[in-house]
């Protein structure tokens, strides 16, 4: 066993807060790093030369000792808890592997204790040719890859495969720029600077590009690798997936960027190109698209990329607020405007002053309020409820609807003059059925997101489960896909999502291609037909239809989604 070689590794892994002990053929501890001494709580002279079974008396050993099973060279690992010398509890993952000579004889054992506390620093240098230590790196739960002096990838561990979606066989020998493309090339530049200057760069926030083209936020450390003569032979990158932290930051700051909306389909790329232009303007914008296509997210992206990005973004769901409260909610009221109005209350337009107001489901706005909204669009002023004085506002108006406003205008359910005021710039988001090429990318993105939220390991997905997801129609679009992925992530207790983890309705669609309840269910067929007839009689006005059917408007909407009913 080359102890000089392992001495380098011990120093390297100290920067990970990872404990390493090297044990010889007589089961005596020959080497260990500072992290191991601190975790075990003994002095150097108490550890060096001691029997491994004595040292590990407080840290349970493996069920099968690596010395006893030399034929199996896989790493053994186990999660354990133990108390240190001062009674502090530690949860660690223990990894071990036998060390073999050229004839396959056991010459020792390497044991790694990975404390689940934040890593303080990362590697300063590494000699990465040793196979047994590559096995250890492969077992860590952070992405690690190495490059040679030319920036070509020479090692790529399993965690890096899961985070990036790349198979190591597709990356080995490729330029590191494969992982750092487009707007993330600066991260690749950091790695090249490390190779040039021989100095580490730690805790660098950036992005990598997944196999499907998804931008993944990571926190990485980049370290030069030296040989025994101190010459640079490459570099190591160690990175962690920051998806959850990124989501929390996005929720807190409200800042959204173009890459937050996933899509490589030409239809989506055309929309992104248009958004980059219209975001910087002050023009009124109308977003059309079916339920669940991402209208809300697109509105937030437009605001974040606009000149008003530091100002308020206020959303109003015109379909969710009762008609008798909608006017006071949107335009506010003054004291004494009605019984109980004991103070002035600003409306959503006042809250959005100098910023952006997003009027979602604008097609459900009552005709009585459409005239008032028209005045805001024309004069940027309105009367709060009960007031005789107008209030001026400086807002950009973005509206959205899942109904064709031209159709509503033709049915006298929407003012024609208001439609033309809203329709200065129009973006139509396609349903998922028209951008099926984005499905693999969206599935992986949502799996990563849900795994981060539920704090579960990012799983793989079986070919059979993927086939089911790729062949479904998604009438609920991306929102429905997100719900399906969340369902699967919660139920999956293994490393791979299988068909059994998907919702039952996806597995039993024999009666209809889109999963609509079968024609053999008379009650279901009758109810669906009643809803369609009622909608037709009421010009597809959902509120009136709900009254006729004696159900809540939200109940009607759910049944329309269930039976795939659309105008």
| CATH assignment of the domain containing 474 | 1.10.8.60
3-state secondary structure of 135: helix
The answer, yes or no, to whether residue 378 has pLDDT greater than 50, is: yes
Please check whether residues 288 and 387 belong to one and the same domain: yes
- Of 86, 137, 123, nearest in space to 222 by CA: 123
Please check whether residues 396 and 347 belong to one and the same domain: yes
Mean pLDDT of the region 9-18: 63
The answer, yes or no, to whether residue 365 has pLDDT greater than 80, is: yes
* Model confidence band, residue 174 (pLDDT cutoffs 50, 70, 90): confident
Q: Which domain holds residue 478?
A: 433-507
What is the pLDDT, as a whole number, of residue 425? 92
* Model confidence band, residue 394 (pLDDT cutoffs 50, 70, 90): very high
Which residues neighbour 397 within 8 Å (Cβ) at sequence distance 6 or greater? 284, 285, 356, 357, 359, 376, 377, 422
What is the pLDDT, as a whole number, of residue 547? 84
Q: What percent of the chain has pLDDT over 90?
A: 13
Q: How far apart are CA 466 and CA 498, in angstroms?
A: 8
What is the pLDDT, as a whole number, of residue 87? 57
Detail the DSSP E strand segments found in 319-463: 332-333, 345-346, 356-360, 381-382, 391-392, 396-401, 425-429, 460-461
Please check whether residues 148 and 192 belong to one and the same domain: yes
Distances (CA, A) of 206 to 215, 283, 405: 10, 33, 42
User: Does residue 314 form part of some domain?
Assistant: yes
Rounded to two decimals, what is the model's pTM?
0.54
Residue 97 region, left (φ>0) first, then alpha (ψ -120 to 50), else beta? beta
Please check whether residues 333 and 397 belong to one and the same domain: yes
- Of 438, 512, 448, nearest in space to 477 by CA: 438
Beta bridge partners of 104: none
Which of 220-224, 240-244, 308-312 shows the lowest mean pLDDT across its residues? Answer: 240-244
Beta bridge partners of 13: none
Please compute, for residue 189, the number of CA atoms within 13 A of its CA located in the half-sphere on the CB side.
6
Residue finishing a domain among 371, 406, 429 = 429
Which of 259-273, 295-309, 408-422 shows the lowest mean pLDDT across its residues? Answer: 259-273
Mean pLDDT of the region 384-409: 90
Q: How far apart are CA 484 and CA 489, in angstroms?
A: 9
Please check whether residues 112 and 66 belong to one and the same domain: yes
Which of 150-159, 221-230, 511-520, 545-554 shows the lowest mean pLDDT across its residues? Answer: 511-520
Higher pLDDT, 317 or 232: 317
Q: How far apart are CA 18 and CA 219, in angstroms?
A: 18
Angle at 339 between CA 338 and CA 344, to 5 degrees: 60
User: Does residue 556 form part of some domain?
Assistant: yes
User: Does residue 246 form part of some domain?
Assistant: no
Q: How far apart are CA 436 and CA 470, in angstroms?
A: 8
The answer, yes or no, to whether residue 75 has pLDDT greater than 50, is: no
Q: Which DSSP state fits 318?
A: T
Residue finishing a domain among 414, 429, 444 = 429
Higher pLDDT, 177 or 408: 408
The answer, yes or no, to whether residue 243 has pLDDT greater than 80, is: no
Length of the chain: 567
> Using an 8 Å Cβ cutoff, are 350 and 393 in contact?
yes
* Model confidence band, residue 414 (pLDDT cutoffs 50, 70, 90): very high
What is the pLDDT, as a whole number, of residue 515? 41
- 330-341 per-position pLDDT tens digit: 998 888 878 777
Mean pLDDT of the region 287-293: 90
Please check whether residues 405 and 300 belong to one and the same domain: yes
Split into its structural domains, the chain has a count of: 5
What is the pLDDT, as a whole number, of residue 32? 84
Q: How far apart are CA 47 and CA 33, in angstroms?
A: 11
What is the pLDDT, as a whole number, of residue 527? 77
Mean pLDDT of the region 413-421: 92
- 418-472 per-position pLDDT tens digit: 999 999 999 999 998 888 888 888 888 888 888 877 777 778 888 888 888 888 8
- 89-139 per-position pLDDT tens digit: 566 777 777 777 777 777 788 888 776 543 333 333 334 444 555 666 666
What is the pLDDT, as a whole number, of residue 511? 33
Angle at 420 between CA 417 and CA 426, to 5 degrees: 155
What is the rounded average pLDDT for all residues in the chain? 77
Q: How far apart are CA 329 and CA 382, in angstroms?
A: 13
What is the pLDDT, as a whole number, of residue 524? 63
User: Does residue 386 form part of some domain?
Assistant: yes
* Model confidence band, residue 252 (pLDDT cutoffs 50, 70, 90): very low
Please check whether residues 159 and 16 belong to one and the same domain: no
What is the pLDDT, as a whole number, of residue 89? 59
Please compute, for residue 339, the number of CA atoms within 13 A of its CA located in the half-sphere on the CB side.
0
User: Does residue 125 form part of some domain?
Assistant: no
Residue finishing a domain among 212, 241, 270 = 241
Q: Which DSSP state fits 183?
A: G
Which of 157-171, 312-326, 359-373, 414-428 shows the lowest mean pLDDT across its residues? Answer: 157-171
Please check whether residues 228 and 174 belong to one and the same domain: yes
Which residues neighbour 4 within 8 Å (Cβ) at sequence distance 6 or greater? 228
Mean pLDDT of the region 513-540: 64
What is the pLDDT, as a whole number, of residue 507? 79
The answer, yes or no, to whether residue 256 has pLDDT greater than 80, is: no
Please check whether residues 413 and 267 belong to one and the same domain: yes
Dihedral in degrees, nearest 10, Cα atoms 379, 384, 387, 392: -40
The answer, yes or no, to whether residue 212 has pLDDT greater than 70, is: no
The answer, yes or no, to whether residue 474 has pLDDT greater than 50, is: yes
Which CATH number do you get for residue 273? 3.40.50.300
Higher pLDDT, 161 or 85: 161
User: Does residue 224 form part of some domain?
Assistant: yes
Which CATH number do you get for residue 552? 1.10.10
Q: How far apart are CA 39 and CA 14, in angstroms?
A: 11
Q: Which DSSP state fits 260?
A: G
Which CATH number do you get for residue 35? 3.30.450.20
The answer, yes or no, to whether residue 358 has pLDDT greater than 60, is: yes
Please check whether residues 342 and 417 belong to one and the same domain: yes
Q: How far apart are CA 497 and CA 459, in angstroms?
A: 7
User: Does residue 438 form part of some domain?
Assistant: yes
The answer, yes or no, to whether residue 70 has pLDDT greater than 60, is: no
Q: How far apart are CA 94 and CA 444, in angstroms?
A: 30
User: Does residue 223 form part of some domain?
Assistant: yes
The answer, yes or no, to whether residue 359 has pLDDT greater than 90, is: yes
Instruction: Compute CA 417 distance to the chain's CA centroid, rounded to the nearest angstrom.
Output: 41
Please check whether residues 35 and 74 belong to one and the same domain: yes
Inter-axis angle of helices 463-470 and 477-491, nearest 10: 160
What is the pLDDT, as a whole number, of residue 415? 92
The answer, yes or no, to whether residue 73 has pLDDT greater than 50, is: no
Please check whether residues 334 and 392 belong to one and the same domain: yes
């Amino acid at each position: 066993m080359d102890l000089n070689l392992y001495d380098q590794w011990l120093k390297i892994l100290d920067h990970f807060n990872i404990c390493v002990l090297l044990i010889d053929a007589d089961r005596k501890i020959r080497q260990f790093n500072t992290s191991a001494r601190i975790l075990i709580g003994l002095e150097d002279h108490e550890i060096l030369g001691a029997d491994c079974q004595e040292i590990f008396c407080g840290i349970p050993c493996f069920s099968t000792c690596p010395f006893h099973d030399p034929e199996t060279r896989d790493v053994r690992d186990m999660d354990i808890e133990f108390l240190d010398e001062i009674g502090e509890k530690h949860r660690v993952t223990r990894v071990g592997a036998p060390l073999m000579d050229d004839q396959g004889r056991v010459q020792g054992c390497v044991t790694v204790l990975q404390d689940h506390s934040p890593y303080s620093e990362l590697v300063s240098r590494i000699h990465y040719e040793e196979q047994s230590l590559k096995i250890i790196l492969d077992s860590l739960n952070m992405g690690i890859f190495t490059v040679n002096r030319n920036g070509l990838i020479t090692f790529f561990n399993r965690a890096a495969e899961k985070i990036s979606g790349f198979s190591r066989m597709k990356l080995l020998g490729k330029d590191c720029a494969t992982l750092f493309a487009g707007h993330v090339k600066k991260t690749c530049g950091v790695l090249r600077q490390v190779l040039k200057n021989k100095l580490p760069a730690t805790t660098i926030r950036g992005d990598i590009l997944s196999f499907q083209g998804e931008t993944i936020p990571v926190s990485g450390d980049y370290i030069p690798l030296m040989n025994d003569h101190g010459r640079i032979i490459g570099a190591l990158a160690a990175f962690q997936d920051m998806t959850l932290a990124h989501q929390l930051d996005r929720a807190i700051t409200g800042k959204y960027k173009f890459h937050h909306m996933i899509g490589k389909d030409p239809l989506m790329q055309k929309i992104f190109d248009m958004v980059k232009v219209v975001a910087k303007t002050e023009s009124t914008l109308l977003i059309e698209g079916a339920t669940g296509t991402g209208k809300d997210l697109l509105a937030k992206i437009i605001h974040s990329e606009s000149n008003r990005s530091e100002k308020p973004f206020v959303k109003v769901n015109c379909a969710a607020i009762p008609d008798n409260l909608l006017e006071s909610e949107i335009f506010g009221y003054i004291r004494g405007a009605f019984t109980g109005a004991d103070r002035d209350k600003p409306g959503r337009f006042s809250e959005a002053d100098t910023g952006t107001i997003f009027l979602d489901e604008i097609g459900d706005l009552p005709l009585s309020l459409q005239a008032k909204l028209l005045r805001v669009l024309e004069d940027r002023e309105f009367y709060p409820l009960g007031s005789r004085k107008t209030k001026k506002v400086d807002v950009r108006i973005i509206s959205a609807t899942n109904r064709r406003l031209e159709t509503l205008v033709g049915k006298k359910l929407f003012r024609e003059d208001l439609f033309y005021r809203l329709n200065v710039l129009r973006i139509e988001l396609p349903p998922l059925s028209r951008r099926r090429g984005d499905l693999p990318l969206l599935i992986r993105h949502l799996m990563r997101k849900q795994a981060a939220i539920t704090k579960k390991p990012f799983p793989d997905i079986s070919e059979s489960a993927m086939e089911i997801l790729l062949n479904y129609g998604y009438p609920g679009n991306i929102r429905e896909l997100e719900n399906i992925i969340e369902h699967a992530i919660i139920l999956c207790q293994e490393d791979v999502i299988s068909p059994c983890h998907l919702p039952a309705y996806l597995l039993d669609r024999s009666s209809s291609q889109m999963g609509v309840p079968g024609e053999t269910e008379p009650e279901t067929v009758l109810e669906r037909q009643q809803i369609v007839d009622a909608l037709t009689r009421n010009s597809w006005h959902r509120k009136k239809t709900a009254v006729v059917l004696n159900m809540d408007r939200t109940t009607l909407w759910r049944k329309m989604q269930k039976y795939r009913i659309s105008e």
